[in-house]
Amino acid sequence: MIVVLSGGVGAARLLRAFEGVMNRDEITAIVNVGDDLTMHGLTICPDLDTITYTLAGLNNEELGWGLTGETWRVMDELDALGGEAWFRLGDRDLATHLYRTERFARGATKSDVAAELAHRHGVRERLLPVTNDPLATIFVTDQGDLSFQEYFVRHRHGIPVHSVRFAGAEQCSPAPGVLEALREADRIVIAPSNPLISIEPLLSVPGVREELRRRRRDVIAVSPIIAGAALKGPADRLLRELGHDVSCVGVARYYREVCATIVIDELDVDRRAEIEELGLSVRTTTTIMANREHARALATEVLA
Ligand code: GDP
Ligand code: CA
């Protein structure tokens, strides 16, 4: 069994890549919930949904989020009514949030709903939210404390961030199965997700960082930073703003306590020695999952 510490898109792509090289039933994803929000009274779990949709082959490739073949009649109508329509939710996607919210009202947990939705979509990987308790990523900016989606969607991650915190982290407990999975995994993979806002919230859940430290030798990370830039999103900008080196070396330094091996891109091969000096082993391959062949090569390298 392998465990994959997961954000959204970067993790979903790697999880899908594993399908070609190992048994899907032997993969457990521990998924970030720091981006989760309530909108129109509905609970939305963007990273869990991205992973579920991607593994079901239903993800919208053009948008990079949501479902394929989506329509927007509800949002358009809401906009026309003067309602809050800045956070776009497609018509089909809304069904997911209606389903989840109704199940919560009947006492189900995030773990229950993640498993149910995965099952309905034929996803065989086990998807575990890192916690069932409230955990919210907050961006401290000149405009005050912003919620994840205010920063990400409303401001298009275009304003300076002074710091990031995870409200609720100290009080929350790992969801059922999370620590057990980390203890029992043959290998733990840190997906090429945003270190500061996708992986750090997972590490901030009591017990998770400690377990990773203990398993350090079996933990392998894939760098989301290639040739000094993120493929998508604000990982590079946030690393810079929060004082980290914007490179695979910066990522390695960030993870060095919890991870013994890092996979970096071929384009960064000249940084290998710097990372080795930090006490990590380095593997090099194509890490851009631009097509099936490259994704498979990366998955193979991670499992080697
Ligand atoms: P989000 O929660 O949807 O924002 O996604 P993640 O945090 O999981 O992933 C965002 C990160 O994934 C960005 O920093 C990207 O650079 C990285 N990423 C996306 N696709 C790839 C890929 O094919 N290869 C690698 N190495 N990184 C990727
Ligand atoms: Ca996310």
Q: Which domains does the chain carry? A: 2-156+158-303 (3.40.50.10680)
Both tokens of 201, joined, read: 């919230």
Q: For ligand 2, a single-atom ion, which residues have Cβ within 5 Å?
A: 7-8, 35, 47
pTM over the 0.95 mark: yes
Q: Determine the distance separating the centroid of ligand 1 and the alpha carbon of 234, expressed in angstroms.
A: 10
DSSP reduced 3-state for 180: helix
Q: Determine the distance separating the centroid of ligand 1 and the alpha carbon of 231, expressed in angstroms.
A: 6
Q: Determine the distance separating the centroid of ligand 2 and the alpha carbon of 48, expressed in angstroms.
A: 9
Is 292's pLDDT higher than 90? Answer: yes
- Averaged pLDDT of the chain: 97
What confidence score (pLDDT) does residue 13 get? 97
For ligand 1, whether the C-beta of 50 sits within 6 Å is: yes
Task: Pick the atom of ligand 1 nearest to 236's CA.
Answer: 14
- pLDDT category of residue 236 using cuts at 50, 70 and 90: very high
Q: Cα separation of 64 and 67, whole Å?
A: 9
Task: Pick the atom of ligand 1 nearest to 199's CA.
Answer: 7
138-149 average pLDDT score:
96
Q: Determine the distance separating the centroid of ligand 2 and the alpha carbon of 277, expressed in angstroms.
A: 31
- pLDDT category of residue 20 using cuts at 50, 70 and 90: confident
54-62 average pLDDT score:
96
253: left (phi over 0), alpha (psi -120 to 50) or beta: alpha
- pLDDT category of residue 89 using cuts at 50, 70 and 90: very high
What confidence score (pLDDT) does residue 28 get? 98
Is 269's pLDDT higher than 90? Answer: yes
Hey, what's the torsion of the CAs at 117, 289, 180, 129, to 10 degrees? Answer: -40
225-226 and 229-230 beta bridge pairing? antiparallel
Q: Yes or no: say if 149 and 37 are a contact pair by the CB < 8 Å rule.
A: yes
Nearest CA to ligand 1 atom 18: 10
Backbone angles phi, psi at 115, to 5 degrees: -70, -40
286: left (phi over 0), alpha (psi -120 to 50) or beta: beta
